[in-house]
Structure 1
Amino acid sequence: MLSSLTERHATFVTERWRGVLLGWLIVTSFLVAVAPRWKDIAYDGDFEYLPPDMNTVAAARVLDEAFPGDRARSQIVLILARRDHPLDDNDLIVGDDLLRRLHHRLSEVCWQRAIDLGYDGGPIEQAPPDAKPWLDRAVEALDQSIAVDERFYQAFADHVPDKPPTLTEPRMAIAYFDRAKLLEQLGNHEREVGDDYQDALILVPEIESIVPPIEQRNLSAWKPMLDLLSWDDSVIGGRLSKPGARLAVLQLSSELAATSNIDTIEAVQRLLADVRDYSSARIESTSEQNGLQLAMTGSAAIGGETLIAARDAIRYTELITVLMILVILALVYRAPLLVAVPMLSIGIAVAVSTALVGLLTDWSIRDVVPGLNLRVFTTSRIFIVVILFGAGTDYCLFLISRLREEAAGAEWPLACKRAVSGVTGALLGSALTTIFGLAMLWFAQFGKYHYTGPVVAICLFIGLAVCLTLTPALLRALGPKVFWPAVVAPREADPAALISFPTRVEGHGAAAGGGIWDWIAIRLTRRPAATCLTGLILLLIPGIYGWRNEDSTTYDMSSQLDTQADSRRGFRILAEHFNIGEINPVTVLLVRAEGEPRESLKKQIKTLSDHLYELPGVVAVRTSNDPLGDFPPDREMSLLSTDAWRRRALQQHRVAQNYFFSSNPEYQDRLVRLDLVVKGDPFSLDTAERVSNIGRNLGDLSRTPESDWYEADVYLAGTTPSIIDLRSVTTQDNQRIKTAVVIAVFLVLVAVIRRVGLCLYLILTVLLSYYATLGLTILFFQGVYGDEYVGLDWKLPLFLFVILVAVGQDYNVYLVTRIIEEQRHRGWLAALRHAVSRTGGIITACGLVMVATFLSMTSSAWMPGILSLLGFENQATTGLRGIIELGFAMGLGVLIDTFYVRTILVPSFVALMGRLGARVKRAESEAT
């Protein structure tokens, strides 16, 4: 049945090749024209794709409902610090330069947000309710920008460089101009407006013509900015100040790994560069060891730099993949057209598949097609490009290799038919193992797994379709000259061959085999038992190490960045002066079924706060009574003390207003919000255990009838609780998906090969190959990272497993199906040797192609250095460790599969089975 279908398919493609070429041209042009850009539909982040029933996801829903409007979801922390001694007055001049710029940016964003919410002029009291707080904050931020600017200029006057003034140097002329315009809109006294306007004109006379209205300014990069908390604040500034460091915290509405954070991070980096170039460079040397340091960190900084690294990884991976494929094809074929045909085919496959997936995703997002549920991620494109180029090139190599054999025995049209018919079954079998294996990720609960696997499977299916239709049509159209400068022609013209359609012609294609592979085939079949056993034992040694350390992974997002990344350097500086937990608190939400009088509720919160301070690892508890957690139970104070005044001021500060209690009627006096500062790095296992213990303790309180919080719903939010949930769900997914992938690939193998024992052995070899690869990868990166090694990226084991188990069967399927095909004409031993000899070179070439494409994922680690040595300007990051580790692991795995499993373990086992089968037949024959 399959043979008949492949013959009909081969006839259609090679006889109607003009229609096939035209069809692909139309489809490609249409999809590329209508599909959205990848970056416009790509998602990112990890925590956003947890199952909806996870505690932190439920907590996010409660926060969105209880605190409607814009709430801070991430932050950028800017650090001004010295390592060698406390900050002095000159250092604080640099800090003022930073603050005056930041306050102005905040004012612009708040003003624009008020306009977006319906404000079109008039007093604040008459503005739409949602716009009022943003107008207040815009005015306050402009006042602060100008106040800091005056202080800065007074101290910096002696250092002002001799160059024309700008809108922000040496004075914040634009801040005066903006305040004049805003006060004018608000209807304030003409004298105030005139003074600011005159000041702006004195500083920059042409300011009216060069500053666009607030509505026309491009502030997209700063749009997520909600507030600025700094050391300069009279109430909370003490918490952001240390003798050797000062902090400014930008609170953002975007999630820590939102794609918009890329623009925000780059905008902040440009602002920091302006400060360094203008004031810091003139105050003092900024030596990394001894000078003033101006650094950036925080959840959004880490998330944004991770996305930037991923973007650079994609760019380098695509470039290096194409270059490597070109080089390998040129070395293999040494024929221009044989290089062009696969590259054109794969290029169209990538264009069509990414366009189709992008279109389907866009329809899914906009709910155009009911029931369609598809998402793509920034890093999904890496897998699509790498797997499509690797697998697509392999498919083309298999087809062209078979065509070379057939062209030596038949005229070109018939040779094309025979080649397509001869490889279709093997390509379907090898591709389907990968497609079904990747599709099993659909059963994952974690969103990135759930969507990425099927998306790559769809793209691979399109790549297979291209290689089985467009590629043969191109070869048929070009004719034998595709092998130029080599000449491939029939050795003997056989008229009968023109009307017959055998699967293959025996005795031809000698050029495809011979040499080293003949020698290997003979050696393997002489001592198959010893070869197989020895090969398994050698692979088992690293395999055991990989199996024992499979769970030694890290969920630390910051560790994915190079140690010299801005956010990681900033993190280290921050840790030298502050408790890291202070910028990553754990948010606790307690929701009762019924409301409680506010005063009674505050007393119960005080009792709960005292209880939480007793739990291991809790450094501070921030409540409505103590917004910054400055006053633990053992800190007594009198009503007239400075601390008591400061505490009352904190309770009225904007960081506390509408933060701890919800104004939403549904949650009013039912919901209590606390922030816990927990000891330790928020990404570490120790911190996760402390937070888990806090969660269990609060859960016990909610189940205790005598407790004030009996039957209250308890939610935890924040970085550490999210990592706890992420670890939990991905651990469950790993076991489920591994089982599903093994079963799916095994069923495909049985359907293609129809030999259960051999299929079980093939599954065993790839499992052993996976664990050996994992063990060797762990050892390699332990050596590379040294003391900085904290474990492989948590996504690596599953992606490596799925791809190796699925992709790793490709070459096994091609080899075994060729053995089975040869057995129709020869005995088992001759068939095995002939198949190994004929497929050895082409499978090795295909393996090298796949290795090269996977290793291209590591290019972001070494390509920037090469470009720098060659004198090219390079603005890229130093790479994303998770992608680099995965690319290395997959390349190593395919290398082991190609040169060890397929070369030694599979042929020796087949020889062993053949020998045992021959003995059984001989025994049966003697018995009869």
Structure 2
Amino acid sequence: MPLKFQHRSLPNRWVQWVIKHPILVVLAWVLLAVTLRVAAPNWKSVALDGDFEYLPAEMTSVAGGRLLDEAFPGERSRSQIVLVLARNKDKESASEFSKTDRTVGYDLLRRLYHNLGVVSWRRAIESGYQGGPIVADSSPEPWLNLAKDAFDASISADEKFYEQIADQVPDDEPTLTKPRMAIAYWDRGKLLESIGGFPEIVSKDFEAALVLKPDLPSVSVPIDERAIDPWRSMLDVLSWNDPVIGSQLRSDGARLAVMQLSSELAATGNIATVEAVKALVADVMDYSSRYTEPGIHLEITGSAATGGETLAAARDAIRYTELITVVMILVILAWVYRAPLLIVIPMVSIGVAVLVSTSLVALLSDWSMREVVPWLDMRLFTTSRIFIVVILFGAGTDYCLFLISRVREEAATADWLQACATSLSSVLGALVGSAMTTVVGLGMLWVAEFGKFHYTGPVIAICLLVGLLVCTTLTPALLALIGPASFWPAQIKPSHAPPVSLMGDRNSDSDSGGIWAVIALTLTRRPFLTLFSGLFLLCIPAAYGLKNEKSVTYDLSSQLSSNAGSRVGLRLLSEHFDIGKINPVTLLIVQPDDVDRKTLETQSKELAKQIYELEGVLTVRTADDPLGDFSPSQEMGLLSSAAWKRRALRNHRVSKRYFFSSVQPYENRLARLDVTMDGDPFSIETAATVTKLEQFLIKKTESESSDFSGATVLLAGTTPSIIDLRSVTLRDNRRIKIVVVLAVFLVLLLVIRRVLLCSYLIVTVLISYYATLGLTILFFRFAYGDDYVGLDWKLPLFLFVILVAIGQDYNVYLVTRIVEEERRLGWVAALRRAVMRTGSIITACGLVMAATFFSMTASAWLPPIAEAFGFTTSSNDAMLRGIVELGFALGLGVLIDTFYVRTILVPSFVAAIGKWRQSREKNRLREQATNASS
């Protein structure tokens, strides 16, 4: 039987082809999904992480980092893990670091230094070392020297450790690392044997290793075959045990060991590194804490620890979100339809959409990074997957619900295939319109300067387009194939009215629509009262949200829950040390012309004196004072202990090639200083201090009388990166808000074609955004209590874009139905019928979307609930607050749009405009009648 349409338009011809050839449609999607899945790389292999890496290239911190890489190749520490061995000061037990506490410290150091030695030796081999004496100034030279020093430090710590436990050695079978570091003696012997010239030490090392572990030769793995991946980014280990720099890393109650890493703080590899360090710490505490008094703590913190735990929390959040999203969708579909196949059809459609879209963007990203397609510029991020899954499941389910509800309505008066075709044709415009508001809104993030915004929005938009295509082709094709049995156990036959659980009676304007008939009647009777009172109530939280929109935090550590390891370690560290000292600001000054090294040193020393006098500066580290131990103006005698210490520091491996570059064209031109600030590196107050420092330096370069006139000044480090990130994202916020609002307004105008109504819809969603933001701030202020420092800095922008875009979906569904009904009814009847016909299904759609967004909060509540029932969820106990906050805000915003804006504000506005126009028309007719009678 041929399908009938009122118009033979292109969309209708498309609909007709889909309904007539459902098998071909299904096979095409299956083939496409399989092909893309096979061709696309694994998501993890192309997904990127980090924030600072994606700032614009011209930003000071980015340019400073790039200069460090060029001037000090292979030696730049991008992040660090700080291990804090201490007792809590606020505990009743003694907080002083005791002699027996050193046992735990020596056990830690012997293991850390051995790992450093192995990694450094491997790095020398990768640099071309094949054996023989160390060649000065060769690529392997620094790594071989570091490997030797690290093995020496490991063995030294091992000897001190054994002195502490000699009378208490357990009877356990010896291993490579317990009770002695047999493997360290063996590895040092092998290294020195390869270098040559140390026969006596080699012989003693091998002898000691075999005494400690007789079967060591058979169980030891050659150095170039060892699995060192978690430790590969280690550049150095600085510890309290160092005779030269150790004084900076110990206090009365604590000791520090600092692992310097080559990886950026949010590099994906830091997850494995942090997990490996945590495993090492647990092993140390399990083995050595028995030798000292209870109350000793060994915690990790530092930028890499924070970054690694943040990424691990994001990984867990993705897993929890995907699980809870699927469960929630299944529950809602079961509740709405109570029909097994109507649960399967949307889930299959959305599953195909997720598979195809994620494979497609992964493939495109891989092509972009490998420059397979020169003009293609696309990147994926780990957390992008959360948005893709949530939005695809939410929007895809909404599309399916809207289509299926219309099929049920149409099947009451037409045969099945005609009902499918008519339904798809009727809702296609609304689905495309609602989808395009989201696609265009998210796509506008392309104008952002910040890389994460710039790439994430268009990627989600592409995935949503795939989801729309699937739901308007595969879903109706499956319905056409399965037939009326889709609604089993319900019976759907022509001329047989469908159940009213979703839609109400098609041929009646009576109260058969239930609650929606009551709402429609109330809104059309008192539109002005409901409109103005509704707007007033929503404006109260909106005013609070507007006032506090910029009160966000850029503190990466605050994104983790208070029980996260890195935050526990940071609290322990701050009890004994100034935390600013582990996150200095690196100052780089490049002279326009070459000067000799001595002059450069003198200029640096003089500049350090001036910087030291600035407010908020704690120390200035220079080549003359590598640890910043002394005031730059302090004079000391030639034979004083301070002078001897300075000379020792200048010859330490940490200082060599650290403050001056030996790489052309920076040799005799570049000076490096490290400035430590008084305060939290992430705080606004510290940022203000660093900004003043930068302004001071710029004035120096602009002054013709200055030694640094015409020089280039760049800053690098955590605080300069935070300053740049804040600057860029604030600019992006202003720009993106404007273009998103304009783009969504234009889409609404194309779909609805009514300027006043489209303008009002934009206004309502803006008020809804600020109200949601205000309520979210109030909620988390209460939930976090004293631990609240502000919402995640990414939340306002993502909330704005997604709410402005997705928040229009339900308005489009309602308004397009009003327009459709108005073609044959007056505005009052059209509004009432549209509210009744769409009320239940839009509510169901809103609940689905809100549920999927709320699933982003699963990492906050799922693990404790699962553990209460005896299930183990993850070894990571950190929660990513930013994702939890955004999920809560988005879910709340969708509920406000669904139950308040769409239910009250939009219909009441339409009714008010209709009543106003009706009143004007009556007045016009009355005037005409009066004029005619006169």
| Structures share fold, TM-score greater than 0.5 | yes
Which amino acid counterpart does residue 575 of structure 1 have in structure 2? S
Which amino acid counterpart does residue 99 of structure 1 have in structure 2? L
- Alpha-carbon RMSD: 1.7
Q: 2:248 aligns with which of 239, 244, 247?
A: 239
2:107 aligns with 97
Query: Contact between 1:59 and 1:715, CA under 8 Å: does it hold in 2?
Result: yes
Cα shift at 1:790: 0.9
Q: SS of 1:621's equivalent? A: strand
Cα shift at 1:579: 1.1
Q: For residues 338 and 800 of structure 1, what CA distance do their matches in structure 2 show?
A: 31
2:193 aligns with 184
2:932 aligns with none
Query: Contact between 2:340 and 2:488, CA under 8 Å: does it hold in 1?
Result: yes
Cα shift at 1:506: 10
Q: For residues 513 and 846 of structure 1, what CA distance do their matches in structure 2 show?
A: 21
1:58 aligns with 63
Q: SS of 2:601's equivalent? A: helix
Aligned pair in 2 of structure 1 residues 297, 264: CA closer, same or farther (>3 Å)? same
Cα deviations across residues 820-870 of structure 1 (Å, max 9, x unaligned)? 001112111011000000100000000000110000000100111001101
Which amino acid counterpart does residue 886 of structure 2 have in structure 1? L
Q: For residues 166 and 133 of structure 1, what CA distance do their matches in structure 2 show?
A: 31
Cα shift at 1:376: 0.8
Q: SS of 2:227's equivalent? A: coil
1:578 aligns with 577
Which residues of 2 match residues 631-650 of structure 1 at below 5 A? 631-650=630-649
Which amino acid counterpart does residue 41 of structure 1 have in structure 2? V
Which amino acid counterpart does residue 52 of structure 2 have in structure 1? F
Cα shift at 1:471: 0.7
Normalised to the residue count of structure 2, the TM-score between the two structures is: 0.96
2:484 aligns with 480
Give the share of equivalent positions with the same residue, in percent: 61
Q: 1:384 aligns with which of 388, 392, 415?
A: 388
Cα shift at 1:369: 0.5
Cα shift at 1:156: 1.1
2:75 aligns with 70
Aligned pair in 2 of structure 1 residues 422, 177: CA closer, same or farther (>3 Å)? same
Which residues of 2 match residues 875-894 of structure 1 at below 5 A? 875-894=875-894
Q: 1:321 aligns with which of 309, 312, 325?
A: 325
Q: 2:435 aligns with which of 431, 438, 445?
A: 431
Cα deviations across residues 639-661 of structure 1 (Å, max 9, x unaligned)? 11111101001011111111111
Cα shift at 1:187: 2.8
Cα shift at 1:726: 0.6
1:32 aligns with 37
Q: For residues 292 and 174 of structure 2, what CA distance do their matches in structure 1 show?
A: 19
Query: Contact between 1:401 and 1:512, CA under 8 Å: does it hold in 2?
Result: no
Q: For residues 475 and 643 of structure 2, what CA distance do their matches in structure 1 show?
A: 79
Aligned pair in 2 of structure 1 residues 880, 76: CA closer, same or farther (>3 Å)? same
Cα shift at 1:2: 9.5
Which amino acid counterpart does residue 147 of structure 1 have in structure 2? S
Q: For residues 7 and 132 of structure 2, what CA distance do their matches in structure 1 show?
A: 77
Cα shift at 1:4: 1.9
2:898 aligns with 898
Q: For residues 127 and 858 of structure 2, what CA distance do their matches in structure 1 show?
A: 46
1:498 aligns with none
1:857 aligns with 856
Which residues of 2 match residues 528-607 of structure 1 at below 5 A? 528-607=527-606
Which amino acid counterpart does residue 17 of structure 2 have in structure 1? F
Q: For residues 510 and 97 of structure 1, what CA distance do their matches in structure 2 show?
A: 81
1:716 aligns with 715
Q: 2:124 aligns with which of 114, 132, 141?
A: 114
- 1:273 equivalent to 2:292? Answer no
Which residues of 2 match residues 774-813 of structure 1 at below 5 A? 774-813=773-812
Which amino acid counterpart does residue 774 of structure 1 have in structure 2? L
Which amino acid counterpart does residue 344 of structure 2 have in structure 1? A
Q: SS of 1:625's equivalent? A: coil
Which amino acid counterpart does residue 526 of structure 1 have in structure 2? R
2:691 aligns with 692
Q: For residues 85 and 94 of structure 1, what CA distance do their matches in structure 2 show?
A: 16
Cα shift at 1:492: 6.8
Structure 1 residues without counterparts, runs of 5 or longer: 286-290, 494-503
Q: For residues 163 and 511 of structure 1, what CA distance do their matches in structure 2 show?
A: 85
- 1:248 equivalent to 2:260? Answer no
2:931 aligns with none
Q: For residues 377 and 48 of structure 1, what CA distance do their matches in structure 2 show?
A: 12
Q: For residues 200 and 763 of structure 2, what CA distance do their matches in structure 1 show?
A: 85
Query: Contact between 1:6 and 1:421, CA under 8 Å: does it hold in 2?
Result: yes
2:622 aligns with 623
Aligned pair in 2 of structure 1 residues 783, 324: CA closer, same or farther (>3 Å)? same
Q: For residues 505 and 344 of structure 1, what CA distance do their matches in structure 2 show?
A: 28
1:916 aligns with 916
Aligned pair in 2 of structure 1 residues 70, 603: CA closer, same or farther (>3 Å)? closer
Q: 1:171 aligns with which of 171, 174, 180?
A: 180
Cα shift at 1:920: 2.9
Cα shift at 1:61: 1.6
Which amino acid counterpart does residue 102 of structure 2 have in structure 1? L
Q: 1:195 aligns with which of 190, 201, 204?
A: 204
Q: For residues 872 and 304 of structure 1, what CA distance do their matches in structure 2 show?
A: 24
**Runs of 4+ more than 6 Å apart:** 509-513
- 1:154 equivalent to 2:163? Answer yes
Q: For residues 504 and 301 of structure 2, what CA distance do their matches in structure 1 show?
A: 67
1:500 aligns with none
Q: For residues 97 and 451 of structure 2, what CA distance do their matches in structure 1 show?
A: 46
Which amino acid counterpart does residue 542 of structure 1 have in structure 2? P
Which residues of 2 match residues 350-361 of structure 1 at below 5 A? 350-361=354-365
Cα deviations across residues 622-679 of structure 1 (Å, max 9, x unaligned)? 0111111111135332111111101001011111111111111201111111100111
Cα shift at 1:567: 0.5
Q: For residues 905 and 79 of structure 1, what CA distance do their matches in structure 2 show?
A: 56
Cα shift at 1:357: 0.4
Q: For residues 335 and 159 of structure 1, what CA distance do their matches in structure 2 show?
A: 69
Query: Contact between 2:563 and 2:877, CA under 8 Å: does it hold in 1?
Result: no
- 1:373 equivalent to 2:377? Answer yes
Cα shift at 1:139: 1.3
Which amino acid counterpart does residue 809 of structure 1 have in structure 2? Q
Q: For residues 228 and 487 of structure 2, what CA distance do their matches in structure 1 show?
A: 56
Q: SS of 1:242's equivalent? A: coil
Q: For residues 511 and 867 of structure 2, what CA distance do their matches in structure 1 show?
A: 43
Which amino acid counterpart does residue 261 of structure 1 have in structure 2? N
Structure 2 residues without counterparts, runs of 5 or longer: 1-5, 89-93, 498-502, 929-934
Q: SS of 1:52's equivalent? A: coil
Cα deviations across residues 514-561 of structure 1 (Å, max 9, x unaligned)? 111111111111100000000000000000010011001010001001
Query: Contact between 2:103 and 2:291, CA under 8 Å: does it hold in 1?
Result: no
Aligned pair in 2 of structure 1 residues 864, 508: CA closer, same or farther (>3 Å)? same
- 1:88 equivalent to 2:87? Answer no
Q: 1:46 aligns with which of 48, 51, 63?
A: 51
Q: For residues 7 and 849 of structure 2, what CA distance do their matches in structure 1 show?
A: 28
Query: Contact between 2:587 and 2:716, CA under 8 Å: does it hold in 1?
Result: yes
Cα deviations across residues 704-739 of structure 1 (Å, max 9, x unaligned)? 111111111111111101111111110010010000
Q: SS of 2:326's equivalent? A: helix
Query: Contact between 1:312 and 1:877, CA under 8 Å: does it hold in 2?
Result: no
Aligned pair in 2 of structure 1 residues 3, 834: CA closer, same or farther (>3 Å)? farther
Q: For residues 836 and 20 of structure 2, what CA distance do their matches in structure 1 show?
A: 32
Query: Contact between 1:2 and 1:425, CA under 8 Å: does it hold in 2?
Result: no
Q: For residues 876 and 97 of structure 1, what CA distance do their matches in structure 2 show?
A: 25
1:138 aligns with 147
Aligned pair in 2 of structure 1 residues 422, 515: CA closer, same or farther (>3 Å)? same
Which amino acid counterpart does residue 581 of structure 1 have in structure 2? G
Query: Contact between 2:504 and 2:837, CA under 8 Å: does it hold in 1?
Result: no
Which amino acid counterpart does residue 490 of structure 2 have in structure 1? A
Cα shift at 1:919: 2.4
1:458 aligns with 462
Cα shift at 1:157: 2.1
Which amino acid counterpart does residue 868 of structure 1 have in structure 2? E
Q: SS of 2:135's equivalent? A: helix
Query: Contact between 1:409 and 1:508, CA under 8 Å: does it hold in 2?
Result: no
Q: For residues 113 and 507 of structure 2, what CA distance do their matches in structure 1 show?
A: 79
Q: For residues 421 and 511 of structure 2, what CA distance do their matches in structure 1 show?
A: 19
Q: For residues 754 and 9 of structure 2, what CA distance do their matches in structure 1 show?
A: 21
Q: For residues 808 and 684 of structure 1, what CA distance do their matches in structure 2 show?
A: 34
Which amino acid counterpart does residue 721 of structure 1 have in structure 2? P
